Structure 1
Amino acid sequence: MVRNAKRALSWSMAAVLWAGASLAADGPPVQEGFSTERLARIAPAMSREIEKGTVPGAVTLIARNGRIVHFEAHGFLDSAKTKPMTRDAVFRGFSMTKPFTAVAAIALMEQGRLGLRDPLAQYFPEFKDMKVYAELRDERGRTSRVTVPARRPILVWDLFRHTAGFTYGGSAPFPEMKEAYEKADIESLNGDLSNDEFVKRLAAIPLAYEPGTRWEYSVATDVLGLVVEKVAGKRLDIVLDEILFKPLRMTQTSFQLRPDQAARFADAYDADPLKADLWKLARSEQDPGKRYVHGGAGAVITAEDYFRFAQMVANGGELDGVRVLSRESVEFMLSNHIQGLEGAPTPTTGPGYGFGLGWGVRLDEGGAWIPGSKGDAMWAGAGGTSFTVDRKEGIVGIFLSAGPSTRQHTRFLFKNLLYGALVQ
């Protein structure tokens, strides 16, 4: 009887362990098309990176058809490697904030309160008569840079797809533009710029390129966030709370770290050369209202919360009975919007990607550094975070780490591991 009881307990435990898994013919267990044996490769791969000093730790999450098949914490929360990483660890989201702002803007568009063809100057007159840098060549073939009037106005569409002609100080294409951005503290790195001061200073700097002609990663999403504020009549973090965070039960996502989150706030290595400036830029513990709310970089996130957001996108705008966007709006956002333009999001996505309304979109099955599907969407944060939504395969993948200097390596490593485990 004891032996039978033990046998029953053994089978019962096995049933729990393999719940939801199916046995492929003459093969290992499979969950939602993912090999559990291959998913088990992720933890050792993360351990190797942690031992090499790539990142102190990470959280990895993979779901298919809305069901989480892998969710693990690896390594440590802190630079000294004294606090174990937890699955509910909080990370600086940086540019993984951009899709939040883009979705909120599209939600306002669905309400008839905002349009992609709207001139930016309709909301902020300071941008009405913008100047653009242009090269002038003399009779001896020597070139100099001058400014000329922009041929067309900046549109809201340009803010979504980074074709407004703005830039970031660290990646400015011209020395004089880099100097202007840094002198004006456009990204509010050294001071707390108000909305009005940000708009005033940005509008005074000539554009890098004619609006609508080139993809140039920039503060455009921060400007879009101010447009959302203007239309909604509320601060951006409050708008996002109402449109996204509360309806989707993203209880750990906000623009200010809460006291109860401090003990699980992930940190980068102190030796990371990018940490000091990026953490200073984020200022996640500070009330976001002290400066213009960074719609392109200001959120703090967790893996489970971001999964809920990404799954809403994967589902065509709906999650657990809550509809945020229409199916057609999601299709529109996940379409390439920079056809025929110069520039591409390659530094973030790798080759083979265009850009939609708020994120990179894959142009074809091939031509990239990593596996994926035509039309899959991804984006990443400067702190070491990334996500992917593959609607063709029904996949959502979330990778969170605090590793600014190694972020390109880790995001592609995770994606290779994710698709390497997909067998059905």
Structure 2
Amino acid sequence: MKHIASLWTILVALCLSGSAFADELGTPGDAKSLGFSAQRLARIAPWYQARFDAFPPSEGLVPGAVVAIAKDGKLAFLQAIGFQDRAKTIPMKTNSIFWIASMSKPVTSVAAMILVDEGKLDLDAPVAKYLPELGDMQVALQRTDSATGKTEYGLDLPKRPMTVRDLLRHTSGLIYPELDFAFPERGLAEASADFGIRAIHMLYGWKGVWRREKTLADFVSSLAGLPLAHQPGEVHEYGWSVDVLGRVVEVVSGQSFDQFLQSRVFEPLHMVDTGFYVPEEKLDRLVDSPMPERPPIWDVTKPAKLFSGGGGLVSTAPDYLRFCQMLLNGGELDGVRVLTAQAVKAMTTNALPPDVRIFGGDEVGGRAGTTFGLGFGIRTSPVSSWIPGAIGSFSWAGYWGTYFWVDPAEKLIGVQMIQAVPGSKARQALVSLGINHLVYGALTVPAPFATPAAPAIVSPETLADYAGTYDFGGSVSPGDRQGLADGKNGWLGIEAFVAMEQEGLRINKPDPGGSAAKAGVTAGDLITELDDTPLKGLALADVMARLRGPANTTIKMKIVHRGHDGASDLSVVRAARRVNTVQLRLRVEQGRLVAEAAGAWPILEFENGKATPLVATSGNEFTVDDDDHTRIAFVRDAAGKVSGLILNPGPWEQKAAVVAPGPN
């Protein structure tokens, strides 16, 4: 009996300790101890609510969200905002269930890497080793006669087989039927004229390979009759690759894909609400579709037959947070190992060869400051990127606005759950990645070690010199080094809407307000030279570097306009761009200097419309009585004119340049 009692005591202790450990991701901890300002985290809910108020459900938006933030393995923030139904009758819950669409892809990628860890799946083996029906796929070929401009289409043999690694990094040549969704009223010929080889997307849509009544095996068999859009390994283009990967998992494991995920991912990670459909007893937590009816293929209220590893899962913010924490921990959570650390490192390291071309979308490539690993987009360049975060942060998003990111440097995870119609203004407003800016902006700055200096007296003339608007670029935190919007960074209005092709840079959708569009650049144009340098054979990153340059400088282009045969010369003047920037506006008020946020995002404790007094400690240094003990030092140029300021000089400093001197 003593042994039984002792064993019972040990089991109870283990259960209690395991439960306490798991609760670190279940119950929000103290924000300050985790390096956050609670006051600044409190900005998150009003930010979402303002957008729900601005866009009614009729605009394709469910007026609610769930946001989860974890740092150092502990939950820092979990909040349900608004409602989970379009009628605004059911309050959103922290465990409300969302269709996460393409956030299914990282889960499928993890499933495949589990089998790689076990030696059952070879990353560099041909996919046909596991799915022989795909062994004879050919590659779509396009030939254009330079003399006549006539384009012919045909088929070619693949230079090498597509591999499992190609499926994970979207270099297989398998694509999505995008054009029939985006341009249902347009014909193949017109689509071909605009997008060249993208006419094949129409074929993928017309073939009808994706049907709810099919199984993954049926789906793969349907794909076998289609050509690949690209030679395997040569082009990164988003597509059916991860759904095919799900079928590979089935064949290698001997289990249906849903059973494999349940036993090897969801159960070990205690992801209790994640799967391919929502059972009846949980339907009261399912968030509405932003449309009156969910497309039948994505009706998640009934058991699925087609287990889409590319977009079929439903989940909750707490569940997906646990999945992300496992990755941040190097493959382990709560003492349970799902992946080896080596597998996680391979997944979150650039997997694209330097000569690979990036085709379609704006989430991956030099224009976005990102690359792609084995299942994730990875941040590579803070200058090019439009979101904050450390180099090496990895992330992905879902079709209806769900989104997550993991920042290994900060040991930070963010999960956003929303449902908004793709392409709608409401979705654009919510997927402007505001959550990244708000979370990084809430990180506290370590207090200075030195004792704050005593207040000093500064002349009215000097105070007047400091009045003006100061621009930090896109940076909201000292851990982020996005480019400074100081007039040195020019903008053409095409950078986010390009794709690299063999002959040059294809323009998909120039910004109508950009300098390139004003100079005559239109959708479908092909830029073949920049400043007398041919673009043929160059990587997108190299071309993007040539597009960028100081504001108010001229770039020369050779451009083939859509529908024309020959190239013409075009000169475009780069414009200064200060959109979505972080700014402070300083003015003298009742004999003292005050500051308030003036850009798209607040910074530290500074708020829009709220004047914060600055206390002088010397002729050019000031402090703020806030949680960060913020210090401000002004910078003058060689002529003695104020040219900028530095927040918290030292390891955590943030620099800004004057963009509008004097009262504003």
Q: TM-score, normalised by structure 2?
A: 0.57
1:362 matched residue in structure 2 = 379
Q: How does 1:170-249 map to 2 (within 5 A)?
A: 170-171=178-179, 174=197, 176-188=199-211, 191-249=212-270
Cα pair 1:222 1:294 within 8 Å, conserved: yes
2:420 matched residue in structure 1 = 403
1:47 equivalenced with 2:61 (yes/no) = no
1:146 equivalenced with 2:169 (yes/no) = no
The Cα shift of 1:364 comes to 2.7
| Letter aligned with residue 286 of structure 1 | K
1:101 equivalenced with 2:108 (yes/no) = yes
| Letter aligned with residue 264 of structure 2 | I
**In 1: Cα distance, 2:155 partner to 2:118 partner:** 38
Q: How does 1:267-282 map to 2 (within 5 A)?
A: 267-270=288-291, 276=293, 279-282=295-298
**In 1: Cα distance, 2:297 partner to 2:50 partner:** 30
Higher alpha-carbon deviation: 300-309 or 278-287: 278-287
Unpaired runs of at least 5, structure 1:
1-18, 22-28
Cα pair 2:175 2:239 within 8 Å, conserved: yes
1:254 matched residue in structure 2 = 275
The Cα shift of 1:134 comes to 1.6
1:317 equivalenced with 2:324 (yes/no) = no
Give the root-mean-square deviation of aligned CA atoms: 1.9
Secondary structure of 1:370's counterpart equals: coil
| Letter aligned with residue 366 of structure 1 | V
| Letter aligned with residue 116 of structure 1 | L
Residues 213 and 297 from structure 1, CA distance in 2 versus in 1: closer, same or farther, beyond 3 angstroms?
Answer: same
1:390 equivalenced with 2:397 (yes/no) = no
| Letter aligned with residue 259 of structure 1 | E
Residues 398 and 158 from structure 1, CA distance in 2 versus in 1: closer, same or farther, beyond 3 angstroms?
Answer: same
Unpaired runs of at least 5, structure 2:
1-27, 56-60, 181-194, 446-664
Cα pair 2:179 2:202 within 8 Å, conserved: no
1:158 matched residue in structure 2 = 166
Q: Deviations over 1:130-165 (max 9, x none)?
A: 211122133534222221111111100100000100
Which has the greater radius of gyration? Answer: 2
The Cα shift of 1:120 comes to 0.8
2:135 matched residue in structure 1 = 128
The Cα shift of 1:196 comes to 3.4
| Letter aligned with residue 297 of structure 1 | G
Cα pair 1:177 1:205 within 8 Å, conserved: no
1:343 matched residue in structure 2 = 358
Secondary structure of 2:362's counterpart equals: helix
Secondary structure of 2:50's counterpart equals: helix
Higher alpha-carbon deviation: 123-132 or 346-355: 346-355
The Cα shift of 1:222 comes to 0.3
**In 2: Cα distance, 1:76 partner to 1:345 partner:** 34
1:59 equivalenced with 2:66 (yes/no) = yes
- Equivalent position to 2:124, from 95, 117, 120: 117
**In 2: Cα distance, 1:384 partner to 1:61 partner:** 15
The Cα shift of 1:270 comes to 3.2
The Cα shift of 1:62 comes to 0.5
| Letter aligned with residue 302 of structure 2 | Q
**In 1: Cα distance, 2:441 partner to 2:430 partner:** 15
Cα pair 2:290 2:421 within 8 Å, conserved: no
**In 1: Cα distance, 2:35 partner to 2:198 partner:** 50
The Cα shift of 1:121 comes to 0.7
The Cα shift of 1:175 comes to 5.7
The sequence identity of aligned pairs, in percent, is 38
2:393 matched residue in structure 1 = 376
Q: Deviations over 1:21-45 (max 9, x none)?
A: 4xxxxxxx72411111110000110
The Cα shift of 1:269 comes to 3.2
**In 1: Cα distance, 2:250 partner to 2:442 partner:** 42
**In 1: Cα distance, 2:29 partner to 2:343 partner:** 33
Higher alpha-carbon deviation: 342-351 or 295-304: 342-351
Q: How many residues align?
A: 390
Q: Which has the higher contact order (CA 8 A, sep 6+)?
A: 1
**In 1: Cα distance, 2:330 partner to 2:393 partner:** 13
| Letter aligned with residue 45 of structure 2 | A
Secondary structure of 1:34's counterpart equals: coil
The Cα shift of 1:280 comes to 2.6
- Equivalent position to 2:35, from 20, 25, 33: 33
Q: Deviations over 1:58-87 (max 9, x none)?
A: 000111011111110011111111111111
- Equivalent position to 1:285, from 290, 301, 307: 301
Q: TM-score, normalised by structure 1?
A: 0.87
**In 2: Cα distance, 1:141 partner to 1:183 partner:** 27
